[in-house]
Amino acid sequence: MMAFKTLLPDCDETHWPLAIVVAEARLGADGVRLGLDTVERWLAHEKPFALLLISAYGPPLANDAAILAMVAQRIGIAREALHRFLLGIAVVVPAATADGVRQSLARLPLHMPLEIFNKAPLAAEWLCCSILAPAGLAIDSL
Give the model's pLDDT for residue 45: 96
For 94, residues 6+ apart whose C-beta sits below 8 A from its C-beta are 56, 57, 58, 118
In the DSSP assignment, the letter for residue 142 is -
Query: 3-class DSSP state for residue 19?
Result: strand
Asked whether the predicted pLDDT for residue 89 surpasses 60, the reply is yes
The span from the CA of 35 to the CA of 29, in Å, is 10
The CA-to-CA distance between both ends of the chain, in Å, stands at 43
Asked whether the predicted pLDDT for residue 99 surpasses 50, the reply is yes
For 50, residues 6+ apart whose C-beta sits below 8 A from its C-beta are 17, 18, 19, 86, 87, 88, 89, 90, 127, 128, 131, 132, 137
Asked whether the predicted pLDDT for residue 128 surpasses 50, the reply is yes
Asked whether the predicted pLDDT for residue 75 surpasses 80, the reply is yes
Domain map (residue ranges) of the chain:
24-135
Asked whether the predicted pLDDT for residue 60 surpasses 80, the reply is no
